[in-house]
Amino acid sequence: MPITRTAATFPPPVMEARRWLEGATFAPDRPLINVSQAAPVDPPPPALRQAMADAALTQDDAHLYGPVLGMPALRDGLSAQINAHYGAHTTPDQVAITSGCNQAFAAALSSLCAEGDEVILPTPWYFNHKMWLDMTGVTAVALPVGAGMLPDVAAARALITPRTRAIALVTPNNPAGVEYPADLVLAFFKLAQKHGIALIVDETYRDFDSRTGAPHPLFFQNKWDETFIHLYSFSKAYRLTGHRVGALVTSAKRLAEAEKFLDTVAICPGQIGQYAALWGLENLGQWVAGERDEILARRAAITDGFDALTDKGWQLLGLGAYFAYLEHPFDISSADLAPKLVKEAGILCLPGTMFWPDGSPEGARQLRIAFANLDARGIADLYARLSALKL
């Protein structure tokens, strides 16, 4: 029997982890610490919810099919925001709105790859990227990160073959959190441009980058849109995860190809979510800045309290945006440790094995902590529970 497209990949990791909670109970004074998923648990701010309700009540087109590549006003607004943030000169015809950033990645790959082609992914990788490649018959070529959890350009160069179609980076990174230096991202762009392949940069978490100003100069490069494919998500900035609003920024020519995929899969992105994203662009700049400040404060709490774990043999491998990436000290694979943490410590997190190829020894020692929904007290509680572990 042939292997089906879905059977070619693994179960969704976050859903797999949630199954570890079946039958588990947690005392009121020791509730579950859920650091498994990088998604805001709070709804959008009240003013944004009101704007969404108003759109539903007063905008007839909010309930109809819209343009496949998204609402023109939102495409224009995102182009203007990118230009302001990066000092760029994008135009709305280089912007497409998608049903979430994962769909933006899938649409980009549909315009790049045929079955049997290859895409280079730094490991640890974002598992949904790997899953999509598996399901489309595209080979994910692992590029293990080096010092500082950063990918190496020379190592990537050695992996390029005649079937390579793209290199895909995530910065700030998921799962490791690290922010890729501007000169490193530029070096990958030049490598991709030289070899005639695409550089996909998923910047879902750019609103929570600790650096001010443009995180890279790719939008300044000559004919940038022939090589660089920028992915973005409104979900984290405006707490719109349930409304699935992402973006794909590249050449108008490539978007014409991606449009075929998008029309077939979803016809158009959700209209109310697009109205929400547009209202957010126009009204929530200061609010997002405050959200960023809070995330950076929680990031500082991760660093400030980590000595309690260092003394127990833990290491902090990566940190940034929503994530802390840890190396544990136990003689047990993280694939077995993570389920044990639910029962023995009341912690739900993802094992490093979910972000590496099968059998990679690195993943067996690593855990991803999505800390964005923990305040300083919650982080201290997390550290206290991990410090008390005896396995």
What CATH code is carried by the domain that includes residue 345?
Answer: 3.90.1150.10
Check whether residue 105 and residue 72 sit in a common domain: yes
Q: Report if pTM > 0.85.
A: yes
Q: Which residues contact 59 (CB under 8 A, 6 or more apart)?
A: 271, 275
User: CATH no. for residue 148?
Assistant: 3.40.640.10
CB atoms within 10 A of CB 303: 11
Instruction: List per-residue pLDDT tens for the chain, 391 residues long.
Output: 567 999 999 899 889 999 999 988 998 989 999 999 887 888 999 999 999 999 999 999 999 999 999 999 999 999 999 999 999 999 999 999 999 999 999 999 999 999 999 999 999 999 999 999 999 999 999 999 999 999 999 999 999 999 999 999 999 999 999 999 999 999 999 999 999 999 999 999 999 999 998 999 999 999 999 999 999 999 999 999 999 999 999 999 999 999 999 999 999 999 999 999 999 999 999 999 999 999 999 999 999 999 999 999 999 999 998 999 999 999 999 999 999 999 999 999 999 999 999 989 999 999 999 998 899 999 999 999 999 998 7
Check whether residue 217 and residue 152 sit in a common domain: yes
Number of domains in the chain: 2
Check whether residue 117 and residue 68 sit in a common domain: yes
Check whether residue 257 and residue 153 sit in a common domain: yes
Burial of 317 per CB tally in 10 Å (0-12, 13-18, 19+): buried
Among 182, 191, 186, 189, CA closest to 157: 191
Check whether residue 181 and residue 278 sit in a common domain: yes
Contact between 78 and 247 (Cβ < 8 Å): yes
Q: Which residue pairs, CB below 8 angstroms and at least 24 apart, start in 141-145?
A: 142/356, 142/357, 142/360, 143/167, 144/360, 144/362, 145/176
Q: Which residues contact 275 (CB under 8 A, 6 or more apart)?
A: 51, 52, 55, 59, 62, 71
Contact between 149 and 320 (Cβ < 8 Å): no
Identify whether 50 is part of a domain.
no
Check whether residue 278 and residue 331 sit in a common domain: no
Angle, CA of 206, 150 and 383, to the nearest 5°: 75
Contact between 32 and 343 (Cβ < 8 Å): no
Q: Which whole-number Å values give the CA distances from 382 to 219, 246, 370, 389, in the listed order?
A: 40, 32, 12, 11
Provide the token pair at 172. 């700030």
List the alpha helices (DSSP H) in the chain: 13-18, 46-58, 72-86, 101-110, 127-135, 153-159, 182-195, 235-238, 252-265, 271-283, 285-304, 307-310, 334-345, 376-387
Burial of 55 per CB tally in 10 Å (0-12, 13-18, 19+): buried
Only one residue has tokens 């909010």, namely 62
Cα separation, 316 vs 310, whole angstroms = 8
CB burial string 120-158: b at 16+ within 10 A, e below: bbbbbbbbbbbbbbbebebbbbbbebeeebbbbbeebee
Phi/psi for 231 (5° steps) reads -115, 140
Identify whether 32 is part of a domain.
yes
3-state class of 324 per DSSP? strand
Domain assignment of residue 242, given as a range: 63-284
Check whether residue 127 and residue 224 sit in a common domain: yes
Check whether residue 112 and residue 249 sit in a common domain: yes
Identify whether 52 is part of a domain.
no
Contact between 191 and 184 (Cβ < 8 Å): no
Identify whether 326 is part of a domain.
yes
Q: What pLDDT does 390 receive? A: 86
3-state class of 70 per DSSP? coil
Choose one of 250, 267, 284: the last residue of a domain: 284
Contact between 141 and 150 (Cβ < 8 Å): no
Choose one of 236, 256, 284: the last residue of a domain: 284
Burial of 74 per CB tally in 10 Å (0-12, 13-18, 19+): buried
